[in-house]
Amino acid sequence: MSEIATIQSGRQKEIEEKRGDHEIKKLKAENYANYSKLSKSKEQEAENLQKDYDTKIVKLKNELEQKLMATRDKGSELAEAENKRMEEELVNLKKVHEDQVGEIKTSQRNEIENMEKSHRNTIDNSRQKFQKEKMKWKSA
């Protein structure tokens, strides 16, 4: 009987080991399924976060480009307005210069005319004095 008991206990032991192995395989399969499920959900969350991050980056880049373009446009408008103002200022300065040159020419012309009159008067006076002196010498 002891052999039968030993065989029975050996079989009992095998059955228990098989049942334990089966439970371990079952638990491993369940844990692997839970791990896969959790891993997939976390990977999906990471992908969603990456997409959100990428979307925000693109959005910020677009906003910055719009601001940059607006700033450039405004700068161009200001530069254009300043160039126009400078052109007008240049035209005004040229007109003022031309007016001043005209005034100077007129005043110099008048001065030359006055000098010529004075010179003619001096020559006429000198001629008359010469004629008077000449007459005095002829009559003497």
CA distance 54 to 63: 14
The Cβ-side half-sphere exposure at 36, using a 13 Å CA radius, reads 6
CA distance 44 to 89: 66
Specify the pLDDT at position 140.
65
Specify the pLDDT at position 55.
97
pLDDT band at 46 (very low <50, low <70, confident <90, very high): very high
pLDDT band at 118 (very low <50, low <70, confident <90, very high): very high
State CA 3 to chain mean position distance.
Answer: 97
Taking the alpha carbons of 77, 82, 83, 85 in that order, is the dihedral positive or negative? positive
